[in-house]
Amino acid sequence: MAASNTFADQLRHAIRDSDQSRYRICKETGIDQASLSRFMNGAGLSLDHIERLVSHLALELVKIKKKGN
C-alpha cells in the first residue's frame, strides 16, 4: 500500500510520532478529545485546530513549488 502524502495524513503521522498522549495534546491545545479522535480516524479538522496542532507540535508549514508553476 502506498503512503499518502496529504497534509492531513502527515499531521496525523506527526501526532502519532509525538511522545505525547492525545489527552495531553487536547489539554494543552484546547481541542476537545472527540474532535481529535475523529480527525485521527479520517475526518477533517478546522483551520483553527490545525493551527493549534502545528504550533503545539512545533511543525513548520512549507509550500513546495511544483515544476511548471
Between 37 and 5, the more confident residue is 37
- Give a yes or no: residue 18 inside a domain: yes
Q: In the chain, how many domains are there?
A: 1
Say what the pLDDT of residue 58 is. 97
Whole-structure pTM value: 0.82
- Give a yes or no: residue 52 inside a domain: yes
Residue reference for cell 485546530: 49
CA nearest 50: which of 4, 19, 15, 20?
15
Over 70: is that where the pLDDT of 3 sits?
no
Q: How far is CA 41 from CA 28, 37, 50, 55, 63, in A?
A: 21, 6, 15, 21, 25
- Give a yes or no: residue 63 inside a domain: no
11-64: pLDDT as tens digits: 999 999 999 999 999 999 999 999 999 999 999 999 999 999 999 999 998 888
For residues 29 and 21, what is the distance between their CA atoms, to the nearest angstrom? Answer: 12
The three cell numbers of residue 42 are 479520517
Between 67 and 1, the more confident residue is 67
- Give a yes or no: residue 44 inside a domain: yes
Please, are residues 8 and 36 in contact by the beta-carbon 8 Å criterion? no
